[in-house]
Amino acid sequence: MTERCEWLGAVQPSLDRVTVQRVDRAALGVYGGCTEAGAHKNEDAALLWENAEEGWTFAAVLDAHGSAQSARAVLDLLAGEFDAISALLKQAAAPAFAALEAHLLKMLGGSSFQQVCADLSGETALLCVAQRDNFLWWFSVGDCALYLLHPDLMGLGQYALTQRHFFQWIGEVNTFAQACAAYSSGRFMLRPGQNDIVLLTDGVLEFGTRPFEDRRSWRRQSMRPSRRREGFATCWRLFSRARAGTASRLLAGGWRTRTQPCSPQPEVDLPGPKAVSHAAADIPVRHAPCPSLQRVRLGRARKNTRRPGGGHRWLDFRVGKCRRPPGPLALAAAGAERAGVHLDPAAAAAAWGAALRPAPGCPQLAHLYG
């Protein structure tokens, strides 16, 4: 059974208060602005549909200006296509997303809807997002934003999946009435573990001192423990910071999903705790055990050398905080130089390829050996 939530700001403006509506694991958070700061209407709209049994979620946020007419028209158009959209999302991810994008283009570019838009006052931005199994799809016109919060991605500096595009609208000024419609769409494979998916309007990024333009705020908000239900914890935190007398309208929808480890992982052979003999130059290179290497960050490793037992010079490396860790050839070359031995690069590459062995449990160290 599909659970549905459809919200129109012209009907429920949510002035001076934060409203959170739940749809199973998903949630919609709304703050209509502070009336003392000048807020007097809400022109935004949103919808959330979720079918946990069939494994899909569909959401949309609309940020209108000039009037709420354009948001109402697009919301009514999407709601009227509920049966068709839900039928498309019953398919596997690839055919479902291809068919859904084609259906949206047909809906928004149809002559009947074009006539509706010509009679409207004002325009709206639109962001549609669908999840099917472990895959995410989006369709965007305008400057709404989609964030995917996952520790693996945030650790590499990736938070947003979409780029905000200005001067794209649906309504009185309509991108689908042009010779070539301007919009963006994409797909993304979710990472294993916990993924927080958040759709939001530009008001969330621009209100007050613009706290959420700082990407570190997203990390703190998504990773912070919450006693509230997981499905709307992230949305609630967004709006709990908005009660500061801002007239901005804030709208965000989102959900939390946990995926199984089926995303592609690099196939990397990692050495174990024993010494690995370097055949090219006969220089033993010792690596610390994998558990101690799990703390390695994306930074350059410090190289320390010593002579255990008075024998060969050994090469060890520790955790550092610089820009990029050296690859295995760089480590071997450093050891060879200190030992006074010439190391042929081609022979060294062959030796490393033969010497490395799998070390399960440390896939996050792939960058040390590439």
Q: Among 109, 105, 112, which Cα is nearest to 128's?
A: 105
Q: Among 189, 221, 188, which Cα is nearest to 204's?
A: 221
Q: Is pLDDT above 80 for 90?
A: yes
Residues 6+ apart with CB under 8 A from 362: 270, 290, 293, 294
Give the model's pLDDT for residue 105.
Answer: 96
- For the chain, give the percent of residues with pLDDT over 70: 62
Q: pLDDT by residue (tens digit) across 251-297?
A: 888 888 888 776 555 554 434 433 333 333 333 433 333 333 333 33
Give the model's pLDDT for residue 4.
Answer: 92
Give the model's pLDDT for residue 24.
Answer: 85
The CATH number of 3-259, from 2.40.50.140, 3.30.450.40, 3.60.40.10, 3.40.50.720, is: 3.60.40.10
pLDDT confidence of 117, banded at 50, 70, 90? very high
- DSSP sequence for 80-126: HTHHHHHHHTTS-HHHHHHHHHHHHHHHHHSHHHHHHHHT-SSEEEE
Give the model's pLDDT for residue 163.
Answer: 87
Mean pLDDT score, 327-350: 55
Candidate ranges 124-128, 337-341, 344-348; pick with highest mean pLDDT: 124-128
Mean pLDDT score, 321-347: 53
The 8-class DSSP code of residue 190 comes to P
What are the structural domain ranges in the chain? 3-259, 276-368
198 vs 368: which has the higher pLDDT: 198
User: Which range (24-33, 127-136, 340-349) has the least confidence?
Assistant: 340-349
What pTM, to 2 d.p., does this model score?
Answer: 0.68
CA dihedral 201, 29, 69, 146 (to 10 degrees): 30
